[in-house]
Amino acid sequence: MEAWREKLDKYFNGELKLFEGNYTITYPCVLKRGRKRIKGRIDMDHGIVYNLKGKEIRRVKAV
């Protein structure tokens, strides 16, 4: 069998993943710290607020 067909079969069987990373769905938000407003992204599933560079700022109660 051809090599591309073997890889395609592995993909459909679940042995080969297209993307190895673990991606989370985040939503834009604005966090107030004192008088400053910080732009960030919130992960509703895990309750984590990230800044725009991806660093964890704080944890909130997950819904």
Flag whether the pTM goes above 0.95.
no
pLDDT of residue 16: 79
Q: Could you give phi then psi for residue 58, rounded to 5 degrees?
A: -160, 165
Angle (CA) 48 51 52, round 5°: 130
The per-residue pLDDT for 1 is: 61
CB 56 within 8 A of CB 48: yes
Cα–Cα distance, 15 to 2 (Å, whole number): 18
Please give the chain's pLDDT, 63 residues, in tens: 688 899 889 888 888 777 766 778 889 999 998 999 999 999 988 899 999 998 999 998 876
